[in-house]
């Protein structure tokens, strides 16, 4: 099956395979460079989202499987990062709950839309949400490392900490806004009638 799979889908599956590796690196005691290795790995994995999308379009490899697995890979990466940050005590559990719940709700709604033959394009709010989530997660991974403290000093570290929370706040706000926007554009799917309804 993998041999017959397009390059774009292989890149996406590779991203999924490396999600547990990222979590292990982040949560393991690898010394001062552990968080930096985790941040680099997370950034690379997040960047492959644009790579596999470009490959799929340029090589005409857009498939139904790819449309399903690509957003799933993104959600797994962000979810894993948020849960790990909660475990490390870097963020509150409610932040992770809000973001993860949004992804589950929108994914369920997207599945219903696809079943009804409706495609809802990703909005600018959703794209911005993803960008701010990635920036915020990377910031929270590295902001308390000894290297940052040594480079910025106590006052600089305080500023970075505040900026990290500010960016995370924007990410959470955009998470909620993008969900509301998605529901608005999917209102016809939500209200029905659905193809499986009797007497429709």
**Percent of the chain's residues with pLDDT above 90:** 48
- Environment class of residue 1 by beta-carbon count within 10 Å: exposed (0-12), middle (13-18) or buried (19+)? exposed
CA distances from 36 to 48, 71, 141, 191 (A): 19, 25, 8, 47
The answer to which of 106-115, 173-182, 184-193 has the lowest mean pLDDT is: 184-193
Average per-residue pLDDT in the chain? 84
Average pLDDT over residues 92-109: 90
**Rounded-to-integer distance, Cα 108 and Cα 101, Å:** 11
- What are the pLDDT digits (tens) for 73-96? 888 999 999 999 999 999 999 999
Nearest of 45, 48, 47, 56 to residue 7 by alpha carbon: 56
pLDDT tens digits, 127-186: 899 899 999 999 999 999 999 999 999 999 999 999 999 999 999 999 999 999 888 877
Q: What is d(CA 177, CA 172) in angstroms, rounded to the nearest whole number?
A: 9
Collapsing DSSP to helix, strand or coil, 160 comes out as helix
Query: Hey, CA dihedral for 101, 45, 170, 136, is it positive or negative?
Result: positive
pLDDT at 199 over 50: no
SS3 content of the chain, % helix, strand, coil (to 5): 80, 0, 20
Banded model confidence at residue 50, pLDDT cuts 50, 70, 90: confident
Domain boundaries, the chain: 7-191
**Does 8 score more than 80 pLDDT?**
no
Tell me how far apart the alpha carbons of residues 194 and 200 are, in angstroms, rounded to a whole number.
8
Q: How far apart are CA 120 and CA 5, in angstroms?
A: 26
Classified as helix, coil or strand, 194 is: coil
Burial class (CB in 10 A: 0-12, 13-18, 19+), 7: middle
Summarize the confidence of residues 119-127 as an average pLDDT: 75
Classify 7-191 by CATH class. mainly alpha
The least confident of 34-38, 46-50, 144-148 is: 46-50
């Amino acid at each position: 099956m993998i041999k017959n799979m397009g390059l774009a889908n292989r890149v996406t599956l590779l991203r999924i395979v490396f999600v547990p590796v990222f979590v292990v690196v982040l949560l393991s005691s690898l010394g001062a460079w552990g968080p930096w290795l985790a941040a680099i790995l997370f950034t690379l994995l997040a960047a492959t989202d644009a790579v596999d999308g470009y490959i799929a379009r340029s090589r005409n490899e857009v498939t139904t499987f790819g449309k399903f697995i690509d957003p799933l890979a993104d959600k797994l990466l962000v979810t894993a990062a948020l849960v790990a940050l909660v475990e490390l005590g870097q963020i509150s559990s409610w932040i992770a709950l809000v973001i993860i719940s949004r992804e589950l709700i929108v994914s369920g709604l997207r599945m219903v839309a696809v079943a009804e033959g409706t495609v809802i394009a990703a909005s600018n709010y959703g794209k911005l949400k993803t960008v701010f989530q990635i920036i915020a997660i990377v910031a929270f991974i590295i902001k308390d490392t000894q290297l940052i403290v040594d480079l910025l000093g106590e006052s600089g570290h305080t500023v970075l900490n505040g900026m990290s929370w500010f960016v995370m706040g924007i990410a959470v706000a955009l998470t909620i806004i993008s969900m509301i926007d998605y529901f608005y554009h999917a209102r016809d799917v939500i209200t029905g009638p659905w193809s499986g309804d009797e007497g429709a």
